Copies of this chain bind each other. A is one copy, B any other.
Amino acid sequence: MSYSFLQLCEEPRIMSKPLILVTNDDGITAPGIRNLVEAVSSLGEVIVVAPDQPQSGQGHAITIEQPIKLHKVDVFDGIQSYRCSGTPVDCVKLAKNVLLKDRHIDLCVSGINHGSNSSINIIYSGTMSAAMEASLEGIDSIGFSLCDYGFDADFSAAKYYAHKISSKVLERPFGACQLINVNIPKGSFEEIKGIKICRQAKGRWIEEFQESEDPRGQKYYWLTGRFVNDDEGEDNDQNALKNGYISIVPAHHDLTHYPSIPQLKHLEDVS
């Protein structure tokens, strides 16, 4: 196959209106997803499938023990939208396999999350897991998060960059890796210094369960904690954010720790 033929094959896809799937984990009524829909609506045909209630911290959970409901809603002007009773990953599975069956999805954008998904937060995040699920299906995917947990957070810079980055990815699709984790620092547009392509920082949570008693006198625990970053490298996402940059981490789902394969050969001798 000649290069010119490949060019001809690819051109119609570039020229046609891209199909963009939007989802999140804060629920379909969150300000973050409204800003994301507005950010990408001029870039193609948009369909929204998002949880009907907040699903933060759902990680890569899927609903297998019960049925999932999907309801068409009219919350974004002129945009086909559905609220889903399942997890963020369920939303992507239903969009891909039920609503958009047989259609090529050019891009999946997830967010804009209310709060950071940098460093180790990627593995707890429903926003990032939804984007990862789309990437598993071969769809270029972006998770956007604003490092501000407030409901009234200022999304103007995040929205601007979500538009710009999504547009750039549509123009030049990803290669080997089909997922990026984009975190935008809290603050005004003018405060953002630029964008850095990073690796995931080696951060961790120090858990401090709040312990109390319910009205029947039964003890309960409520998860809380604080994030610490022990990673002093300059090339990690936490460092970029700390210095006022948007961080972009290319991510994937192969969890193999390759350097350990030769080191664990002695375990083959168990008998």
Contacts and interface: CB of A to CB of B under 8 A. Distances in A.
A8 interface: no
A183 to B, nearest CB: 13
A114 B80 CA distance: 40
Q: Taking the full assembly, how many copies of this chain does it contain?
A: 2
Contacts of A196: 268
A: contact size bracket: 35 or more
A59 B59 contact: yes
A187 interface: no
A265 interface: yes
Contact of A255 (B90, B168, B200, B265): B200
B68 A220 contact: yes
A165 interface: yes
Interface of A: 54, 56-70, 87, 89-90, 93-94, 96-98, 120, 122-124, 129, 132, 136-137, 161, 164-165, 168-169, 172, 174-177, 179-181, 194-200, 202, 204, 207-209, 211-212, 214, 218-223, 248-261, 263-271
21 contacts: A58-B61, A59-B61, A60-B123, A61-B61, A64-B223, A68-B221, A69-B219, A69-B221, A70-B219, A90-B223, A122-B255, A169-B267, A174-B260, A175-B263, A199-B256, A200-B254, A200-B256, A249-B255, A250-B260, A251-B257, A253-B255
